[in-house]
Amino acid sequence: MMEYITLKNSDIKVSRICMGGCPMGQYGWGDVQEQELLDTVNVAIENGVNFFDTADTYGLGKSEETLAKALGEKRQDVVIATKFGVRVENGKTFYDNSPAYIEKALTDSLRRLKTDYIDVYQIHYRDGVTPIGDVVDALEKYKAKGYIRSYGLSNIYEEDLNELKSFSGKFVSMQDEFSLACRKNEFELTDLAKQLLLTPMTWGSLGQGVLTGKYDINASFGSNDRRSREIYVNFHGEKFRKNLEIVEKMRPIAENHNVPVSAVALRFILDYLKDSVVLVGAKRPSQILGNIAATDWCLTDDEIKELDLISK
């Protein structure tokens, strides 16, 4: 059975498993079949997932278009989160939080998603130039007009606290990378979320897939798979070997609870970060079903301690 929470500072009830839309952009994810993506969205909904997260930059709009195609008339039954702030022009990528760009980005996202409102509109990255007050004013304007129901943050760090703390209670959520393979943003998703009254959301929840248990030391990836790049450290060098040790520690726990290894990785987040949401990308129905297996049970205190220790 799916678990649900209400996002802070809102009346928006969401599943604690949120299907991430990056694979729907169909770029850098290896072999991706659109029909499988459409089927995956529908299987997710049939199994209680009502929360879908995407961004205008995923596949340069392709992800939003694919999500809209998958949802069809079911759009009213789900919560859609998307992001703005990563701008691509003339082959160059940069951050832009200016009110003028927010207006353009919002208009384009509404069109691609084939909807007249977005449930959670998120700042993808801060641009380091636009005052946060100007961003909030723009978002409040679109909220008053009904174009967005709420707004959230993404990739925010401790040094951003001073500019954000006067807006505590305005944002409903904050997402950042966190998993058994990546603990470096833990402060942001615990203390910072509490100070800003936010619901923590985690991306990279399966370490780009390394925590699914399907890889060994000989794993390799094609040039069209982002994990072949050194920047995806979870699959390279000593970090990869460490992640495989974590997977081996999860295997007996998975057997004990009769769930996939990936479900143990997600359950750790759900138990460790109270009232959190885990974002998980999926390319096919079997993957989202494996992710959903992380709900409606809990790790024991000893299992949490064991996984906590080996992943630090």
Active-site residues, by number, are 58
Number of H helices, E strands in the chain: 11, 12
For residue 41, what are its two tokens? 């969205």
State residue 17 phi and psi, 5-degree precision. -100, 120
The string of DSSP codes covering 60-85 is GGHHHHHHHHHHGGGGGGSEEEEEE-
H or E element at residue 264: helix 261-272
Cα–Cα–Cα angle for 147, 154, 284, rounded to 5 degrees: 85
For residue 67, give the amino acid letter: L
> Of 202, 183, 143, 144, which is closest to residue 17 (Cα–Cα)?
202
Q: Smallest Cα–Cα separation from 226: which of 289, 288, 269, 281?
A: 281
For 248, residues 6+ apart whose C-beta sits below 8 A from its C-beta are none
> Which amino acid is present at 264?
V
Please name the residue that has the structure tokens 């089927």. 39
For residue 3 the two structure tokens come to 């678990």
Residue 219 DSSP code: -
Instruction: Note whether 233 and 239 are within 8 A (CB).
Output: yes
Q: Which pair of tokens denotes residue 103?
A: 């207006």
